[in-house]
Amino acid sequence: MERTQVGIIGAGPAGLMLAHLLRLSGIESIVLENRTRDEVETTVRAGLLEQGTVDLLRETGVGARLDREAFFHRGIYLRFLGNTHHIDMKALTGRGVALYPQQEVVKDLIKARLDAGGEIVFSVSEVEVRDPLGDRPSLRFRQGETERNLTCDFIAGCDGSHGVSRHSLPAGTLARYERVYPFGWFGILAEAPPSSDELIYARHERGFALVTTRSRTLQRMYFQCDPAENPDAWSDDRIWAELRARLATHDGWAPIEGRITQKVVVPMRSVVFEPMQHGNLFLAGDAAHVVPPTGAKGLNLAVADVRILARSLERFYESGGLSQLDDYSQVCLKRIWKAQRFSWWFTTLMHRSQSDTPFDERRQLAELDYLVHSRAAMTSLAENYAGLPFEEK
């Protein structure tokens, strides 16, 4: 039977970042992934990085390409009633954000892992978590026609909301906290140069819209829709007409249009599972929590989770003490619930709901007007959007 110190399920940002941090601390790990390397590296995902995530990538030696290719933003634009207001996060907090797609973060981490001689086992199947409450938990899996068994000190479940890690736990082990939103996002990728120097968050009577950037030639835009909407029922002309209407300003601004290469509908929900650990199995990232995309917290929370887990494991291997590992869930959840609060607030602020009354509409507009004219309110938004400081126990 094979052995490693930490078995990691999932080669997304959480699993790869954890393996990277552990290697820097001299801790052995093996990463298991059910997709091929090509599938992992070419699955297009959003990638808005908080300042703390950018800093961590740089500090650990995987930020060079990010510094060359990312779009760095001072803040965001809020648009409502045909007017645009700039929230200058750099001026308010000294912190900004970077647009760098998730698959690019993953590529950088995979390269760093393999260049250092670390092991990532792609295309695995039938992964089983065994004896997480025991002193020697293990992972059974298939690699092609070969069955492998990996004994570990600890297992990190970084395999997303549909992965085996969380679903391997006995019923009743975790408490589930969830909110499902009555709307989704209709997202497109378009071959066009950037329409704006900052992200645009627009509130319109027809619903929310967002303008963001993926590269110098590829743009990502969204507008609020019914979560059951069929994207194939929308022609390109209809999509651009809807975006122009929701993004319209008094000065005639309009998005730069181009050929649409992807159409997708994204559901919106908030989910937290507690606790994030069960014996020697630790959950991180989407395996433990999901946020609506409005606040751009998903990838950043995953990185924050494994940052805490890596430091807790480092302390264990240095001293043998379990106190920090025992506190992993509690420490992570403090940040997670603050991110959930912010994501819920920003989502409900910018979106329309069929259940909204005229009172709700006026209150929403009043809150937006207060927000863009109050330095204290803008600072609160900037602090949360650019990322709260890491809390150390």
Residue 182 burial (C-beta neighbours within 10 Å; 0-12, 13-18, 19+):
exposed
Catalytic residue among 100, 181, 222, 385: 385
Buried b (16+ CB within 10 A) or exposed e, 256-276: ebbebeebebeebebbbbbbb
Catalytic annotation on 297?
yes
Q: Which of 278, 289, 297, 351 is catalytic?
A: 297
Backbone angles phi, psi at 215, to 5 degrees: -160, -175
Q: If we measure between CA atoms, which residue out of 297, 287, 285, 286 comes closest to residue 347?
A: 297
Query: Is 317 noted as a catalytic residue in this protein?
Result: no
- Angle at which helix 298-319 crosses helix 13-24, to 10 degrees, equals 30
Rounded-to-5 percentages of helix, strand, coil across the chain:
40, 30, 30
Q: Tokens 């590296």 belong to which residue?
A: 41
Active site residue 170: no
Q: Of 92, 117, 127, 119, give the one whose Cα is nearest residue 37.
A: 119
* Catalytic residue, candidates 255, 293, 328, 351: 293
Which ranges of the chain does DSSP label H, i.e. alpha helix?
Answer: 13-24, 37-42, 51-59, 64-69, 89-93, 102-115, 164-167, 236-247, 298-319, 323-326, 328-350, 358-373, 375-386
User: CA 196, 104, 46 angle in degrees (round to 5)?
Assistant: 50
201 tagged catalytic: yes
Residue 328 annotated in active site: no
Taken in order 308, 282, 160, 114, the sign of the CA dihedral is positive
Long-range Cβ contact pairs of 142-150 (< 8 A, separation 24 or more) = 148/2, 149/1, 149/2, 150/1, 150/2, 150/3, 150/4, 150/7, 150/30
Which one is catalytic: 101, 137, 181, 201?
A: 201
**Residues designated catalytic:** 73, 201, 293, 297, 385
